[in-house]
A and B are shown apart, each in its own frame.
Chain A
Amino acid sequence: MTSRLSKTLMLVAVIAILAFLLAPILVLIFSAFDGGNIFRFPPRSYSLRWFEAAFNHSEYRSSLWVSTILGLIATFIAVTLASFAAFGLVRGRPAYRLGMEVLLLAPLTLPLVVWAIALLSIYAELGMNGTLPGLILAHVTITIPFAARIMIATFDEIDPNLEAAAKSLGASPFHVMRRVTLPLAMPGLLSSTAIAFLVSFNDVVVTTLIAGAGWITFPVRTFSRLRTEGIDPTTIAIGAMIVAFTIVVIVVGQRLFQLSRRF
C-alpha cells in the first residue's frame, strides 16, 4: 500500500469516527428547526415555532432558572473546595496525596444512580429531601471530581520556584497568592468553572432522584416529559439550546484559555 493511499484511508476513518461521535448532537440541533409536529431528521421545512413554544412555556422558563442558579452555586462551592484541596495536595506533597485524589475523583467511576439512591435514603432520615441545600450538596459532589482533576493538573504545572522567588523578594503570602499564583492558575480556574457548570447544568440522573417536586431543573423536566409524553418538538428545541450553549462554552473556552489542554 502506498503511503499516500494509506493516509487518505486514515483520514476517511478519522472523519467517520468524528462524525459518529458528533452526529447525534448535530441531529438534535438540526431537527429542532423542523416545522412539523414530530421529531424528524433531516428537517423538511424550517421554522422557529418550537423555540417559541419552549420560551412561552412557563414551566420550562422556571426550570431554566433553577438550573442556572443551582449550577452557579454548586460550581462556586466545588471550584473553591477543589482548588484549596488541589493546592494543598500539590504544594504540601502529603503522604496521603494519592488517597485523597482517589477520594476526590471517585464519583467519576462509581455508579451515580446507586449513590443517589443511598443519599436519598439518608436525606429522608435528615428531612433534607427536596430541599435546595440537599440538592446543592449533591451537585457539589458530582462536580468536584472535574474541578479537582483540572486544578491538580494546573498547580502541578506551575513552577513553585516562582512563588519562592516572590517570597524571597519580600512579598507576603497573601501578596504571593494574589499576584503570582492566582494569575498563573487563572486558565485552570476558568476551565474548571466552565466544565463544572456544564456538568451540573446537564445532570439528569442525580437531580431526578434528589430534587423532589420543588426544584426541577431544565434537563430533569425534559427527561420527565420524555417519559410521560414521548419526544415532542418542544423537548427537542430545548435540548438543542442546551447543547448549543454547551458547544459555545467549549469553543469559547478553547479559544480563551485552552480548555481542552487542561481537561
Chain B
Amino acid sequence: MKETPDIRPITTAMLVAPAACLMFGVFVLPFAYLLVLSFWSQTPGSLRMDTNLTLANYTRIVGDSYYLGGLWTTLWLSAVVTLICLILALPLARWIVLHAGRAKGLLIGLSILPLVCGALLPTLGLVNLLSPLGFINGGLKAMGLIQTSLPLLGNITGVTIGLVQAFLPLMLLPLITTIERIPADYEKAAMSLGARRTVVWRRVLLPLMMPGIVAGSLLVFCASLTAFVTPQILGQGKVVTFASLAYQQAALVLDWPFASALAMVMLLFLLLACVLGALVMRRLGRTV
C-alpha cells in the first residue's frame, strides 16, 4: 500500500463533498433538530410548541412504568435476538466458507435475501407459518405432538423469531468475512499439537473470529433495538417496543417533543452499544 495519496486533497474534497453535504443535510440535521425538539414541550391536544427548554419529556419516560417497561422489553429482546443470531450464524458461516464449494456465492446471495426484501414481505410469510392454523401448528397437530395450538403470534416469541429471521444476514456477513481470513492451517496446527476440539475453538478459532462476532453483534443489536415493521406485525400490537412507542407518539398522538425524547433514549442505547463494541475491540487488539 502506498502512503502518498494518488489524487490531490482538493480533488478528494470535491469528490467527497456532494455525498457528505447530502448526508449532513438530509440525515444528520434532522437528528440534530430532534435533539432540540426533545427539550421542548407541547400541550396535549394542540400542535403549538413551547420552546422553553425543559427536561419534562425525559422525566416522564423515567417516571412511567409503561415506557420503562417498553424500554426494558426492547433491550432484553435485542440482546436475546443477538445471541440467537450468533449461535445460528457461527456454524452456518463456517460451513459456507469451508464446505460450500461452488455453491458458496449463491448461498451468500440467498442469505442476504431477507435483508434486501425489506422487512415486510418475509414477515408476511412468517405470519402464515406461525399463526394458530398455520403450517407449524398444523404440522405438529397432524403428527399428534400437540393438541392445542402453540401461541407463536402476538407475543414475544413470535417477535423474537421474526427478528432473528430478518437480521441473521447482518451477523452472517461479517462472520463470513472474518472466517475467510483465517488460514486453514491454524486449526490443523493446533490439532496436530494435541489440542482437543473444544480447546481449538476456545483458544484459536473464537479469538480470531472475534472482530466479526463483535461487528455482527453490534449490527444485529442496533437493528433489533430500532426495528419497527416486524414487531408491529408479528406482535400484533401486544408487544410494546420502543420504536413503536416513538412512532405512536409522533404519528398518532402528534406529541413531537415526547416522541423525540423517546427517540433520543433509543439513540443513547445505540451509542452505548457502539462504545462497548469499540472497547471490546481495543482490548482484543492488545491481547490477540
Contacts and interface: CB of A to CB of B under 8 A. Distances in A.
A28 B112 CA distance: 17
A160 B4 CA distance: 11
Contacts of B37: 118, 121
B31 interface: yes
B110 A91 contact: no
Contact of A115 (B27, B105, B124): B27
11 contacts: A10-B91, A24-B125, A27-B125, A81-B19, A91-B7, A113-B247, A137-B22, A202-B118, A204-B118, A219-B120, A246-B117
A53 interface: no
B193 interface: no
B92 A14 contact: yes
Given A24-B123, A110-B31, A110-B267, A117 B128 contact: no
A54 interface: no
A25 B113 contact: yes
A199 interface: yes
Given A117-B263, A163-B6, A89 B113 contact: no
A82 B18 CA distance: 9
Interface of A: 10-11, 13-14, 17-18, 20-28, 31, 39-42, 81-82, 84-85, 87-89, 91-94, 100, 103-104, 106-115, 117-119, 121-122, 137-138, 140-141, 144, 148, 160, 163-164, 195, 198-199, 202-205, 209, 219, 222-223, 226, 231, 235-236, 239, 242-243, 246-247, 250-251, 253-254, 258-261, 263
B19 A222 contact: no
B15 A254 contact: no
Contacts of B105: 254, 258-261
B165 A21 contact: yes
A84 B19 CA distance: 8
Instruction: Tell which of B9, B88, B121, B267 has the most Cβ of chain A within 10 Å.
Output: B121
B190 interface: no
A109 B223 contact: yes
A144 B27 CA distance: 11
A41 to B, nearest CB: 5
B265 to A, nearest CB: 11
Contacts of B121: 25, 28, 202, 219, 239, 242-243
A210 B130 CA distance: 31
Contact of B91 (A17, A24, A122): A17
For the residues of B in contact with A, the DSSP-based class is: helix
B114 A85 contact: no
A260 B108 contact: yes
A101 to B, nearest CB: 11
Contact of A205 (B108, B127, B228): B228
B134 A41 contact: yes
Contact of A25 (B19, B117, B247): B117
Contacts of B251: 117, 209
Contacts of A106: 23, 27-28
A138 B30 CA distance: 12
B11 A144 contact: no
Interface string B179-202: 000000000000000000000000
A85 B120 CA distance: 31
Contacts of B263: 111, 114, 117-118
A24 B126 contact: yes
Contact of A254 (B31, B109, B123, B226): B109
B23 A109 contact: no
Contacts of A93: 5-6
A88 B12 contact: yes
A125 to B, nearest CB: 9
A110 B30 contact: no
B33 to A, nearest CB: 6
Contacts of B5: 91-94
Contact of A41 (B26, B129, B169): B129
A10 B95 contact: yes
A25 B122 contact: yes
Given A41-B129, A117-B259, 4 more contacts: A10-B95, A84-B15, A89-B12, A148-B19
Nearest to B91: A13
Contacts of B80: none
Contacts of B250: 117
